Structure 1
């Protein structure tokens, strides 16, 4: 499998809870056994065969106080590409009563940011949540649907061939039809015209927010019954802190070049 992945330029995503204890407790194997050893073997194999991979860590309240330790542990495994995703209140998360508060989401991500800076890992370890926000500051374009001004480009296909506009909104309102009867480009066009993706960044509270430039309202699946993103204050805290070093530069190509020259100058010095 690793040779196949390498020879065909696959990038593999690995879900990891962040530490051995957290992994074994929250993500046991099918028979209740510890799953961390299997994940570690997989990472070791991918590294041995030089297969590109990144690690996805889903954040919930039980992890909020352990951000720095989680970061240090994952990086110690040789992982260089990390992404942190907030818990979605759906499926097994609801059944097992997992939660994630806005305060804990913001606190966790700020602690990740501070640990990344403290260790001097810029240019060595790529935290996608930080890298993409910085890129969006200068380019005005998001690489993710979550922080795009309009979403609907991240389609999902069920095993029976049904296409939906979002992998967190699999219901009749977001059904696009059967893949056998569609081509992907028209399906994406249809998805981006649905109200959920158009309205996400148009909510009133977003228009006066200083971090809208990189947040754009977040994920529609996080919007509560009152019409607010339940992680709003967490995103605000995180983005406010990580954007502070960029605010002195204009949001254009010249600003990006000047910022990069400044950063590279400080690192080379």
Structure 2
């Protein structure tokens, strides 16, 4: 992912882990130069074997670079793209600065936009405020309205934290019925040293279970929730497609505005600096010993408690950044979200088995809604087993 303005943002969200990354570059103007942009674009496209290449723009707030920067980015993508290659762009924004010009640009160039919104006004505004401490919900909703009116393809990213974790259905129904989105992500806020705003592991699991129980009864096939899709992929034996649940990681590197490349967006710290694309070609950095070791460590550092766990095939220990608690046996390296992940994945097992079997018979998974119309998820266990089986 590319961070053309680094950690610079026009909001001051209380839980944001990235704002203090400004301290890595004292005196910087926090603007990606054309030299860095072109170097990365060329190297990234040349290193890809796929016919579809995705550039992910994040921040900070990436729209603070201005439209002209992205016009140039698209020009460079076209310049270096190989024949038959399709280049896509995603951009994650807080939505407060969107206007007609931005939306027209997004439509013209096929950008997929992610909007950050944490639910209804009172839940969203608890932590998502601007630099003056003022609430932002009204402005975000205005941005969403612009995207809809212009026909911009978009989805939403919702963080789960202390203010909204006890209101799962309020959040889900707001996103589904008022934001009118069909694509959702629920990202847990985990703060190791200042946990007052964090979701708890148990709270995150209960949040997901409540939403799943509504989704599986009425919204399968019409609403797509990232973690549910990832889980189904694991149950049918496919790769999850989400780094936190992969067996190894290290493919989601973060490019800062200076050309510095870091191992991961959650590890933008000096010890995880892989190199700089102005000095070393991207494939050398990505395939180097340091980055390979970083990725493999996700697998090799799992405690025995995780290795023996019945949901390891779908969880794989979760994101390493959250592995800072201890197992019941006293071994370090357990994910703080384990007490939520484990009951959640066990809870959805019967439904996942049903949908897996439906897919094997070339039937739509949405058929589960008819099956559950007068029953419970647990009742599916009688037909599809009551204990977890891996997809191996």
Q: TM-score, normalised by structure 1?
A: 0.88
Contact 2:168 2:210 (8 Å CA) reproduced:
yes
* 2:332 is the counterpart of 1:231: no
Instruction: Classify the secondary structure of the residue corresponding to 2:317.
Output: coil
User: Which residue of structure 2 lines up, in the alignment, with residue 30 of structure 1?
Assistant: 131
Gaps of 5+ in 1: none
In structure 2, do the counterparts of structure 1 residues 244 and 192 end up closer, same or farther at CA, with 3 Å as the change threshold? farther
2:225 equivalent among 120, 124, 127: 127
User: Which residue of structure 1 lines up, in the alignment, with residue 242 of structure 2?
Assistant: 144
In structure 2, do the counterparts of structure 1 residues 54 and 215 end up closer, same or farther at CA, with 3 Å as the change threshold? same
Q: Shift in Å at residue 227 of structure 1?
A: 1.6
Contact 2:274 2:291 (8 Å CA) reproduced:
no
Q: Shift in Å at residue 266 of structure 1?
A: 5.8
Instruction: Classify the secondary structure of the residue corresponding to 1:168.
Output: helix
Give me the whole-angstrom Cα distance separating, in 2, the residues matched to 1:18 and 1:168.
Answer: 24
In structure 2, do the counterparts of structure 1 residues 110 and 34 end up closer, same or farther at CA, with 3 Å as the change threshold? same
Q: Shift in Å at residue 70 of structure 1?
A: 0.6
2:160 equivalent among 48, 59, 67: 59
1:164-210 residue CA offsets vs partner (Å, 9 max, x unmatched): 01111122332110121233333332365124x31323422222111
Give me the whole-angstrom Cα distance separating, in 1, the residues matched to 2:324 and 2:351.
Answer: 32
Give me the whole-angstrom Cα distance separating, in 1, the residues matched to 2:117 and 2:355.
Answer: 36
Instruction: Classify the secondary structure of the residue corresponding to 2:208.
Output: helix
Contact 2:221 2:366 (8 Å CA) reproduced:
no
Question: Which entry has the higher C-alpha Rg, 1 or 2?
Answer: 2
Matches within 5 A, 1:197-236: 197-202=295-300, 203=302, 204-224=304-324, 226-236=332-342
User: Which residue of structure 1 lines up, in the alignment, with residue 10 of structure 2?
Assistant: none
Q: Shift in Å at residue 37 of structure 1?
A: 0.9
Q: Which shifted more, 133-142 or 19-28? A: 133-142
Q: TM-score, normalised by structure 2?
A: 0.61
* 2:144 is the counterpart of 1:43: yes
User: Which residue of structure 2 lines up, in the alignment, with residue 104 of structure 1?
Assistant: 203
Instruction: Classify the secondary structure of the residue corresponding to 1:6.
Output: helix
* 2:212 is the counterpart of 1:113: yes
Q: Shift in Å at residue 116 of structure 1?
A: 1.4
User: Which residue of structure 1 lines up, in the alignment, with residue 111 of structure 2?
Assistant: 10
Instruction: Classify the secondary structure of the residue corresponding to 1:62.
Output: coil
In structure 2, do the counterparts of structure 1 residues 267 and 97 end up closer, same or farther at CA, with 3 Å as the change threshold? closer
Q: Which shifted more, 66-75 or 221-230? A: 221-230
Contact 2:126 2:163 (8 Å CA) reproduced:
no
Instruction: Classify the secondary structure of the residue corresponding to 2:220.
Output: coil
Q: Shift in Å at residue 99 of structure 1?
A: 2.1
User: Which residue of structure 1 lines up, in the alignment, with residue 353 of structure 2?
Assistant: 247
**Equivalent residue pairs, number:** 260
Q: Shift in Å at residue 138 of structure 1?
A: 1.5
User: Which residue of structure 1 lines up, in the alignment, with residue 258 of structure 2?
Assistant: 160
Give me the whole-angstrom Cα distance separating, in 1, the residues matched to 2:284 and 2:271.
Answer: 17
Q: Which shifted more, 160-169 or 257-266? A: 257-266
Give me the whole-angstrom Cα distance separating, in 2, the residues matched to 1:146 and 1:60.
Answer: 18
In structure 2, do the counterparts of structure 1 residues 266 and 146 end up closer, same or farther at CA, with 3 Å as the change threshold? closer
Contact 2:115 2:155 (8 Å CA) reproduced:
yes
Which stretches of structure 1, 4 residues or more, deviate above 6 A after TM superposition? none
Q: Which has the higher helix share?
A: 1
